[in-house]
Amino acid sequence: MTSTLDRVMIFDTTLRDGEQSPGCSMTQPEKLRVAKALAELGVDIIEAGFPAASQGDWEAVNAVAREVQGPIICGLARCSRDDIELAAKALRDAERRRIHVFLATSAIHREHKLNMAKEEILRRAVEGVKIAREHCEDIEFSPEDASRTELDFLAQVVEAVIDAGATTVNIPDTVGYTVPHEFAELFRYLTKNVRNIDKARLSVHCHDDLGMAVANSLMAVVAGARQVECTINGIGERAGNCSLEEVVMALRTRETFFNAATGIQSQRLYPVSRLVSSITGMPIPRNKAIVGENAFAHESGIHQHGMLKHASTYEIMRPQDVGLARSNLVLGKHSGRHALRERIKELGFELDEAEFERVFIDFKALADIKKELFDGDIEALVLRAEGGEAGPWTLGSLRTSSSAARGQATVSLQHADGTVVERSAAGDGPVDAAFKAIESATGVTPSLQKFELRSLSEGEDAQGEAVVYVNFADRSYRGASVSTDIVESATRAFLEVINRIETSQSAKEHA
Ligand code: KIV
Ligand code: ZN
């Protein structure tokens, strides 16, 4: 049977708009991990970054372009030759590439940000697209703040950039201001009033300031958009972007209503969501649609009764359709390779042999300390094993003691250059003392912003995840670690922060 559904392209911007969100910055290896996971998820386009923003961004886009096959790899650029050439160079090794140029069009941006008249905006937008076309055939243009732009001027810009060679025209609701019916009207207006609209794909890009990014994006699809820009877990500037998992599952669950389909492997949504959350440190709210812990939990007696009779009474999607394979199955120290491998597979992770062996060793070590290992424990082991080292320092040993709220800690750290440094410090409790000992050993003294602890599973011996947020040289950094010993997980999380700072400082020195 041939499908008559229209294909909606999924353009993922987790690594660009998502990463722009405060506290969500990722290292280059982390960006690569996310990009590979997005490729497996089946996204059509990965916006890997904004190459002109920094040397680090350029390198990350270049690494994704070289190493990730399948999706189109895209880089963002302002309408300037320098930006576009940097993007083109970063993308040159991609199997398939796209340059995404943007320029604000609304009166507010024209007057207060750009100080440009309409004619100049039009000229620069066309010029930007033409320069980009010198390097690449696949060009996307975004009139930033489109939803607050005069309709006739927006139509004029869209028509001109399509004539100049834009193959996708993206309509951003940059400040999350529009509402569903109004936004659908905007798309209908463009479809009716732009002479050459059939020569380009219409795309939608929504922010969630009023909590309507997904609804607005879906209404744009109803009105003709055939590309949706979104991020995993909806991370992004301010309140975030349209959430990929929500828009994809809405299209899939209500396929006959939208008459449209995506190419997303929906069973990979949950593991990718967990990966992005663990890398960025942005927690997923329990009640978050699709991937939240409670998304498929039924507490009330009436609901449970209905569910037992027939799942469709209260369930519009099956948990396994989004890759959620939670169970009460508990593993322990007598569980072997086979049981662990099966559980990891059911949780949606794919590991190569070397990664699996690393997880298995950690699993056995953890099972010696902790009687029962739950899904949360297994996930933490897998996410850690896939991660690798973040920087030059490793923790050799940690000794702590405390009495009456005073703490004492001694750490021994090994640097990648072979140096071993041991330092002791006192503080307000053992965690504070360990942080001070690390600062003294490494010479890096960031300012601590936030320290969070949460349990990953059940029981008194549950593993604790520590997350540390700091500021250093006008940038924010985050480190996380998991252990059954909370002082150890806090110490390792702080050391990860130091490693991230040192790695980014040395990248700056080599830039
Ligand atoms: O929100 C926005 O307008 C953007 C553009 C660069 C597409 O992110
Ligand atoms: Zn945006």
- Distance, in Å, from the CA atom of 487 to the CA atom of 468, rounded to the nearest integer, reads 12
How far does the centroid of ligand 1 lie from the alpha carbon of residue 182, in Å? 19
Q: Is residue 31 part of a domain?
A: yes
CB 235 within 8 A of CB 283: no
Same structural domain, 397 and 353: no
Range of the domain at 190: 8-280
Per-residue burial over 346-381, b = 16 or more CB atoms within 10 Å of its CB, e = otherwise = bbbbebeeebbebbbeebeebbeebeebbbbbbbbb
Cβ neighbours of residue 125 under 8 Å, at least 6 residues apart? 79, 101, 103, 105, 141, 143, 157, 160, 161, 164
Amino acid making up residue 275: L
142 lines ligand 1 (CB under 6 A): yes
In angstroms, how far apart are the furthest CA atoms of the chain? 77
CB 230 within 8 A of CB 264: no
Same structural domain, 184 and 214: yes
Same structural domain, 38 and 152: yes
Same structural domain, 358 and 252: no
Q: Is residue 308 part of a domain?
A: no
Same structural domain, 454 and 478: yes
Q: Is residue 287 part of a domain?
A: no
50 lines ligand 1 (CB under 6 A): no
Return per-residue pLDDT of the chain as tens, 511 residues: 456 899 999 999 999 999 988 778 888 999 999 999 999 999 999 999 999 999 999 999 999 999 999 999 999 999 999 999 999 999 999 999 999 999 999 999 999 999 999 999 999 999 999 999 999 999 999 999 999 999 999 999 999 999 999 999 999 999 999 999 999 999 999 999 999 999 999 999 999 999 999 999 999 999 999 999 999 999 999 999 999 999 999 999 999 999 999 999 999 999 999 999 988 888 899 899 999 988 887 666 776 677 677 777 777 899 999 998 766 568 888 889 998 998 888 787 888 898 899 999 989 988 888 878 888 788 888 887 766 556 789 999 999 998 877 899 999 999 989 999 999 999 999 999 999 999 999 999 999 998 988 887 766 677 788 889 888 887 778 888 888 888 999 999 999 889 888 877 765 555 4
How far does the centroid of ligand 1 lie from the alpha carbon of residue 335, in Å? 49
Same structural domain, 256 and 156: yes
Half-sphere exposure of 107 (CA within 13 A, CB side): 5
Q: Identify the residue whose C-alpha is closest to ligand 1 atom 1.
A: 174
* Number of Cβ within a 10 Å radius of residue 418: 6
Q: Is residue 291 part of a domain?
A: no
Q: Is residue 60 part of a domain?
A: yes
Same structural domain, 136 and 267: yes
Same structural domain, 346 and 412: no
Write out the two tokens for 500: 């991230």
144 lines ligand 1 (CB under 6 A): yes
Handedness of CA 12, 17, 22, 27 (dihedral sign): positive
- Distance, in Å, from the CA atom of 260 to the CA atom of 271, rounded to the nearest integer, reads 24
The 3 state secondary structure assigned to 204-263 is EEEECCCCCHHHHHHHHHHCCCCEEEEEHHHCCCCCCECEHHHHHHHHHHCHHHHCEECC
Question: Counting ligands in written order, which one lies closest to the CA of residue 147?
Answer: 1
Same structural domain, 368 and 484: no
Q: Is residue 273 part of a domain?
A: yes
Q: How many domains does the chain have?
A: 3
Same structural domain, 146 and 53: yes
Q: Is residue 427 part of a domain?
A: yes
CATH number at residue 477: 3.30.160.270
How far does the centroid of ligand 2 lie from the alpha carbon of residue 242, in Å? 9
Amino acid making up residue 15: L
Mutate to test the pocket of ligand 1, among 50, 79, 98, 207 (most ligand atoms within 8 A of CB): 207
How far does the centroid of ligand 2 lie from the alpha carbon of residue 252, in Å? 24
Can you give the pTM of this predicted structure? 0.85
Mutate to test the pocket of ligand 1, among 139, 144, 175 (most ligand atoms within 8 A of CB): 144
Q: Identify the residue whose C-alpha is closest to ligand 1 atom 2.
A: 174
Closest ligand 1 atom, residue 146 Cα: 3
Closest ligand 1 atom, residue 142 Cα: 7
Same structural domain, 259 and 338: no
